[in-house]
Amino acid sequence: MPSVLEKTIFEDPTLNVIHLLNSISSENPEAISLASGRPDDEQCDLSLIDKGLASYTRYAVDTEHSLATLLCQYGKTTGIINGIIAEHLQVDEGIKIYNPESIVVCMGFQEAATLTLLSIFEGSGVLLVPDPVFSGITGIAKLLRIKIVPVPEDTFLDPSALRKVAEDLESRGEKVKALYAISDFSNPTANSLSYEDRKAMLSLANEMNFFILEDNAYSYFRYEGDKIPLMKSIDSSRVFLLGSFAKSIFPGLRMGYVVAPENAGVISFSARLCKAKSLITVNTPALCQAIVGGLLIENNYSLKQLNQPRVLSYRQKRNYMIECLEREFPIKAGSGRSVTWNHPEGGFFINVQLPFTFEYFEMCECARNFKVIVFPTSLFSLTNQAVTQVRLSFSNATESEIKQAIGNLRAYIESRMQ
């Protein structure tokens, strides 16, 4: 047992971020929260459960197993809806999957990431991540004792600068084994990779022999501009696609998947993923798989139509939040704006730049005294980057909450500027 004074991995702040996001609201029940990136409560639709199950029940009639066996027995480790997910990835993403068994159906992105890291990292090796970064990946990488090298986001998004980071590491004897990237509308900064960035990242991975862990959790939520192909659809051989149905169906299902690289001659990552899963969760709950599989079949394997009302509603919320920011923080003649923000083309977040440091202490002060909870972007950083930024989530707030919250944030900022 570690002594009382000894720090364990469980004291690492990265492991606390998701807990903090969930607990800050319950500690400040009267404050409006723009902290958590939950899908909209208004979009939770119980009828999807019945629809999905009914559709899967019809489909199962034509399979070799009875519905009772499929749903009630222990299931195949890789999953029971791999073929359906393969079809879905072809239809929505143009990804051709030759063997559906290269897909492992998982309990959300989080399990997909865990299995993937376990299958790639043994002993040494480095995981490159942008900084700030979604703590779901860094938290599990830390628990697995993987060496993480955070790369400031500006450098990460600049292909030649990123190449230099990887080359410098390798010249010091550190092997880059994988890189984690969110292609569209990242959490926390809402930035995306351009088509050129994606191509450059793939060439670097090929040249330097590492893998890309591609997270597409927010890809369906594009409010303007043209879709950019996922890296997995450009060159599958270096990419583990870590998929999640948390935002595109609903998070209560805890459903996701990983698609391993499929090229002959490379180690069988599917077999490794499968072995690891058989010892972690055995198999993903069949009932949840049936709902997802049924909904995909029901919607001709595409999630675009199902998400159309959500896209319209989130777009409206994003626009409204930007309107409120413009109203509360107007341009001042001569000095511009003291508070600025990005204008993401999609996703759940807007990143705001403040004229002062905003960290954990300030978040608590703002929640307690000004009744609005906004999350410091720096809490997602491993190197104390972005200390003057806050992540505002519009996904689960009503227009009246957004209006009130941005007004309260202005009052807090004014109090700090006096």
Ligand X SMILES: Cc1ncc(COP(=O)(O)O)c(C=O)c1O
Cβ atoms 183, 231 nearer than 8 A:
yes
Q: Minimum CB separation from ligand X for residue 140, in Å? A: 10
Distance (Å, rounded) from C-alpha 84 to C-alpha 298? 11
Cβ atoms 148, 382 nearer than 8 A:
yes
Q: Which of 378, 77, 102, 35 is nearest to 261 (CA)?
A: 102
Distance (Å, rounded) from C-alpha 410 to C-alpha 327? 10
Distance (Å, rounded) from C-alpha 214 to C-alpha 237? 12
Instruction: Determine, following the binding rule CB under 6 A, whether residue 344 of this chain makes contact with ligand X.
Output: no
- Interacting stretch for ligand X, rule CB under 6 A, among 73-81, 229-237, 243-251, 273-281? 243-251
Distance (Å, rounded) from C-alpha 182 to C-alpha 177? 17
Amino acid at 66: S
Q: Minimum CB separation from ligand X for residue 133, in Å? A: 9
Distance (Å, rounded) from C-alpha 292 to C-alpha 298? 10
Give whichever of 139 and 413 is closer to ligand X, judged by the CB atom. Answer: 139
Relative to beta strand 372-373, strand 32-33 is parallel
Site for ligand X in 122-141 (CB under 6 A): 134, 136
Instruction: Determine, following the binding rule CB under 6 A, whether residue 246 of this chain makes contact with ligand X.
Output: yes
Distance (Å, rounded) from C-alpha 345 to C-alpha 266? 37
**Per-residue x/- marks for ligand X, 155-194, CB under 6 A?**
---------------------------x----x-------
- Interacting stretch for ligand X, rule CB under 6 A, among 9-17, 61-69, 105-113, 331-339? 105-113
Site for ligand X in 32-61 (CB under 6 A): 37
| Near ligand X by CB under 6 A: residue from 28, 77, 244, 283 | 244
Give whichever of 109 and 220 is closer to ligand X, judged by the CB atom. Answer: 109
Q: Which of 192, 226, 189 is nearest to 342 (CA)?
A: 189
Identify the residue whose tokens are 């009772």.
Answer: 68
| Near ligand X by CB under 6 A: residue from 101, 153, 215, 345 | 215
Give whichever of 146 and 181 is closer to ligand X, judged by the CB atom. Answer: 181
Instruction: Determine, following the binding rule CB under 6 A, whether residue 289 of this chain makes contact with ligand X.
Output: no
Distance (Å, rounded) from C-alpha 362 to C-alpha 217? 29
Amino acid at 328: E
Instruction: Determine, following the binding rule CB under 6 A, whether residue 260 of this chain makes contact with ligand X.
Output: no
Site for ligand X in 372-401 (CB under 6 A): none
Give whichever of 109 and 375 is closer to ligand X, judged by the CB atom. Answer: 109
Report the residue closest to ligand X, judged by CB. 108
Q: Minimum CB separation from ligand X for residue 272, in Å? A: 20
The contact set with ligand X (CB under 6 A) reads: 37, 108-110, 134, 136, 182, 187, 215, 217, 244, 246, 251, 256
